[in-house]
Structure 1
Amino acid sequence: MSSRTYHIPQGGLPPQTDLLSGRAVFTTAYAVIPGSVQRDIVISYLPHWDNTRVWVLARPLSGFAETFSHYLMEIAPAGGSDIPEPEKDAEGALFVVGGQVVLKLAGKESELTAGGFAYIPPGCAWSLRNRGRAPAQLHWIRKLYQRVPGLADPEPIVTNEQSIGPTPMPDTEGRWATTRFVDPADLRHDMHVTIVTFEPGATIPFAETHVMEHGLYVLEGKAVYRLNRDWVEVEAGDYMWLRAFCPQACYAGGPGRFRYLLYKDVNRHMNLRQGVPLI
């Protein structure tokens, strides 16, 4: 686990000679957005973000993601934002995959390079700037925080993946492991953003079927992933969304490690009321 690589979107446009066939899939249970379709033509721009372009991988939408949004951002030199988050009740997680940025969070400046992670509590003032000479790429996951009486809001976290030892899954001899940025027993947190690593040949040996909604961005390698009743080939740069209770399994069939950035909602009672606003 000493060397780590992270996929960076290439942008641009495919040549006119390319075939139209591809691996993109959108169903009521899951979606697959291949890295090959993350092109210049599908970028978005955000208010108060300078010299920044965004691939929106997930957003709250009927029949799609319900609890979160996921942006893949490219920030040019001198780009960034001093007022990045418009929603006062939103929490966020940042994960840098290329270049470097300076994060000012709760009055403290930190430089984040590849592998850098930050958890931003709701209502916490922050800003982000690229002061380098090359573009920076990062993931930004946003969620409306669900407060609980008697539980304080979480505290800010700034760290790097290389500073955290992976936790192996039981009885796997370390072939399947999770890098956890947040203590799973800390009930103040209502979402987990982790990195899951499979060594070649490792597998999820059963179809997981559970209440947590998932967003998965493949950082490295390739695998065959079971989504509902389908086996889908995925590789670095691909994004998968899985709705709650969508069966999932995995077989890491490539020559190298298979790794993905994972979002899931956790640690809260099920919402019994309709019409609750999401972000």
Structure 2
Amino acid sequence: MTPSYYVPRGGLPGQDELTTDRAVFTDAYAVLPRRTMTDIVTSYLPFWENTRLWVLARPLSGFAETFSQYLVEVARGGGSERPEADPDAEAVLFVVDGALRLTIDGTAHDLAPGGYAYLPPGAEWTLRNRRARPARFHWIRKAYQRVDGIDVPGAFVTNEDDVEPIAMPDTDGRWTTTRFVDVDDLRHDMHVNIVTLAPGASIPFPETHVMEHGLYVLAGKAMYLLNRDWVEVEAGDFMWLRAFCPQACYAGGSGPFRYLLYKDVNRHVPLRPLGR
């Protein structure tokens, strides 16, 4: 059974609440606590009806440059027949609440919570909420980096329920990764996985690597090392890490600590700005 996922509901903090929060933006990482995802920071997109979104990440020169991530809320009857304006953009959709009808190249797919879809650049797709209650999903976008002699991956749809988590070595299953794409499939230049740590489990060393990361906490809480700082995070928080930012964590609380993880993979390091 697919676990539940935290989703924001909007609104505004009360006038009697403290302004102080855990939000921080540094030259190595950013943390957007769930309390920051209020009505006044929502955005809207062309050709999307009855839809609003929180922009969690966008390319910024000198910071994280490869991806954008939206948390999208679609009301009854909402969606789009023209969702993507960039023909070079690939995408992953991950549903965290409600139900959506995704149509890819004329084939319809009904997505429930845990639903995952990969959409290659140039895919013909539409998305609709045909239910009474709102639906919410993550939309992660990246400019696909083509390689001569390697095919562009095809679209596919699955659900977290249908993917067996892989235990990390020497952890007795207390740290697992749900991988929706094979790591040796070089057609893919980004991975969007789910990382799960049991209460008390840890990432016991500072990971430091070239990948940029977006981490949305789906459930639980933890102490997370970001560069030199230990930061307390909980379900609904978003962490944004530039390349080489050290990271580690200790999971706390009574239930698993789980996050949706983006990272760029499987391509040479560009030696000049992309497109030149």
* TM-score bracket, shorter-length normalisation: over 0.9
Corresponding letter in the other structure for 2:143? L
Matched with 1:78 is 77
Counterpart check, 1:197 vs 2:201: no
On the 8 A contact 2:2/2:113 being kept in 1, the answer is no
Matched with 2:120 is: 121
In the alignment, which residue of structure 1 is the partner of 2:53? 54
Residue in structure 1 matched with residue 243 of structure 2 by the alignment: 244
Whether 1:144 aligns to 2:143 is: yes
Identity %: 66
Instruction: Give 1:253 shift.
Output: 1.4
Question: What residue in structure 2 maps to residue 159 of structure 1?
Answer: 158
**Structure 1 gaps, min length 5:** none
Written as runs of structure 1 = structure 2, the 5 A alignment for 1:1-150 is: 2-150=1-149
TM-score, scaled relative to structure 1: 0.97
**Unaligned segments of structure 2, at least 5 residues:** none
C-alpha distance in structure 2 between counterparts of 1:201 and 1:229, whole Å:
21
d(CA) in 1 for partners of 2:259, 2:142: 19
Q: Which amino acid aligns with 1:7?
A: Y
Q: Which residue of 2 aligns with 1:232?
A: 231
Aligned residue pairs total: 276
How much has 1:255 moved relative to structure 2?
1.3
Asked if the contact 2:2–2:114 (Cα under 8 Å) also holds between the matched residues in 1, the reply is no
The correspondence of residues 249-268 of structure 1 with structure 2, limited to 5 A, is 249-268=248-267
Note if 1:171 corresponds to 2:158. no
| Cα distance in 2, alignment partners of residues 45 and 18 from structure 1 | 28
CA distance in 1, matches of 2:62, 2:35: 23
Give 1:3 shift.
4.8
Q: Which amino acid aligns with 1:57?
A: L
How far does residue 254 in structure 1 lie from its aligned partner after superposition? 1.4
**Offset at residue 13 of structure 1 (A):** 0.4
Q: Which amino acid aligns with 2:247?
A: Q
